[in-house]
Structure 1
């Protein structure tokens, strides 16, 4: 097989995977991971197509070309007939490769341009990355994906996400949140920028957590670590069903500071939730709350802590009816 024939085959296969990405079963995702890890050219073609498909102007041009015959290669046709966008773009990229405008090796060695992932208030989204890792982005969250040949870097700008990492010891998977860095090879873990802190929870495998000049900490399956803004840290054990609870939009609070509970509920609330007195944020909350029903959760919390709920100016406030609270103490 000639080099051009091989380029054609790889781009055709990549187009097929990209076309079907949103509807892959768990088994098929495993097959995709095997295909991506089989060759650097596979991963490069897949990443190039996914990045190119985010170009609005190019997609509009592809729509105009879908009825035109393309003889360069025969990608999978879309369910509605005609060429799929990924197939047409694969053909265009292949023409550039075989025409000498863009060498295949150049695609392999360059870093993938950053990809921005974001969700609105109340909305979650799953994203399968070019290496078959999955980012499960919580509501009202934002992450930047910056892959290179030697590393897989994610910058959690805001909010919360779970990462299901495809194993590749030669390309560490790093998540940066504030001044904290979480490194994994193949595992399932959560990073949550909540208020002024970063919480890491490990559902499977082991991760290494570093913050500034402090010595890195190893965090194993079933453990959580909370890094506060003042560089203090606390850790503990997760309930056995933590990941299932996360996927079901449940918040399991075990003596959790109220300010962190409110921050998490705000990701789902159409109205901003505010503590009338910042000192209330140190009150401890224990319970199980449905995040996608913030009003119900707030009513339960106000009852538990003897707080009152006030609405004003499009916001919902939690306030204390008396100078002292019912025996609840701030975090020491």
Structure 2
């Protein structure tokens, strides 16, 4: 929803260029839900135009309390009109993701020091809320990926929660990633308890190097990994161990303002092992092209394209 708000803001600009429109169309084509979310956000914009002056001012002030001070805050404010139009605060939980406490754009990583001594590292295109109280420490991950390095406190559990479930620290460091099929948990150090929101599902305790995926139907164990390699993105490196090439390119694209274009079907079956710099993804994809014998070129619109054609 936050990404849809960003695109809605860009498209609302009278000077929007063709490249932006084409990039938005590519984003919409990645997942049918993207286009639905964008249409809803643009519909909110139309409803905002019909509000009177007092309502507009109320929404803008409310959004400014938490949104970043740029053009996207205006579109984020539109979401608040649902509260006015619907006549109540019952929809507020649906709008919270538009006003996260901390967020990153593509290609950014951010370290967040928490008041309890714990630390978060946000990957690109990530958004979280932080709730630290006398009885609980809760991080809500709306999108993207976060690593939590946790300071021990037996009286206050430390939990990262998503729409799929929860991951509670029984030790030190772990990674939580929100993705289309669910929420993936990777333990870097010590232990983590993973629980799904599904009523019929139980919980799993994971040790360092172990992973799990939380889905609407429960918690599924995944294959073990090297915990240091799994946390490589925190240090600015993508560690690939026999990784499918389309998956690797998708990971690089999460760090880019302009994604690398490729045809997943034509690259199916190709696998890659190596270390790739996330702070210089152009260099990473150049190394990929050299190692795989694929053609790398720039399209007329400036996008980088990786192709099997010569």
- TM class, shorter-chain normalised? 0.5 to 0.7
Gaps of 5+ in 1: 1-53, 57-113, 323-332
Structure 1: how far apart are the matches of 2:168 and 2:237? 26
Which runs of at least 4 in structure 1 moved beyond 6 Å after TM superposition? 228-231
Identify if the C-alpha distance between structure 1 residues 170 and 125 changes in structure 2 by more than 3 Å, giving closer, same or farther: same
Identify if the C-alpha distance between structure 1 residues 199 and 308 changes in structure 2 by more than 3 Å, giving closer, same or farther: farther
Matched ranges for 1:206-217 at <5 A: 206-211=191-196, 212=198, 213-217=200-204
Give the conservation status (yes or no) of the 8 Å contact 2:212–2:222: yes
Q: Secondary structure at the match of 1:261?
A: helix
Displacement, 1:169?
2.8
Aligned length: 211
Identify if the C-alpha distance between structure 1 residues 198 and 309 changes in structure 2 by more than 3 Å, giving closer, same or farther: farther
Displacement, 1:182?
1.3
Displacement, 1:140?
2.7
In the alignment, what sits opposite 1:3?
A: none
Q: Secondary structure at the match of 1:139?
A: coil
Identify if the C-alpha distance between structure 1 residues 195 and 293 changes in structure 2 by more than 3 Å, giving closer, same or farther: farther
The one of 162, 185, 199 aligned to 2:147:
162
Identify if the C-alpha distance between structure 1 residues 118 and 320 changes in structure 2 by more than 3 Å, giving closer, same or farther: same
Superposition RMSD on alpha carbons, in Å? 3.3
Corresponding position: 1:311 with 2:298: yes
Structure 1: how far apart are the matches of 2:248 and 2:180? 9
Structure 2: how far apart are the matches of 1:138 and 1:222? 19
In the alignment, what sits opposite 1:223?
A: 210
Identify if the C-alpha distance between structure 1 residues 285 and 181 changes in structure 2 by more than 3 Å, giving closer, same or farther: farther
Identify if the C-alpha distance between structure 1 residues 301 and 241 changes in structure 2 by more than 3 Å, giving closer, same or farther: closer
Q: Which moved more, 1:267-276 or 1:284-293?
A: 267-276
Q: TM-score, normalised by structure 1?
A: 0.54
In the alignment, what sits opposite 2:236?
A: 249
Matched ranges for 1:1-332 at <5 A: 116-194=101-179, 196=181, 198-211=183-196, 212=198, 213-225=200-212, 233-238=221-226, 240=228, 243=231, 245-278=232-265, 280=267, 283-312=270-299, 313-321=301-309
Displacement, 1:130?
2.7
Identify if the C-alpha distance between structure 1 residues 227 and 185 changes in structure 2 by more than 3 Å, giving closer, same or farther: closer
C-alpha offsets along residues 172-210 of structure 1, whole Å, 9 cap, x if unaligned? 222124414211144111122356454322221100123
Displacement, 1:228?
7.6
Give the conservation status (yes or no) of the 8 Å contact 1:169–1:185: no
Displacement, 1:268?
2.7
C-alpha offsets along residues 140-160 of structure 1, whole Å, 9 cap, x if unaligned? 321122344433221222222
- Which of 1 and 2 has greater Rg? 1
Structure 2: how far apart are the matches of 1:199 and 1:159? 11
Give the conservation status (yes or no) of the 8 Å contact 1:190–1:202: yes
Gaps of 5+ in 2: 1-63, 67-98
Give the conservation status (yes or no) of the 8 Å contact 2:148–2:173: yes
Q: Secondary structure at the match of 2:256?
A: coil
Identify if the C-alpha distance between structure 1 residues 293 and 163 changes in structure 2 by more than 3 Å, giving closer, same or farther: same
In the alignment, what sits opposite 1:47?
A: none
C-alpha offsets along residues 5-37 of structure 1, whole Å, 9 cap, x if unaligned? xxxxxxxxxxxxxxxxxxxxxxxxxxxxxxxxx
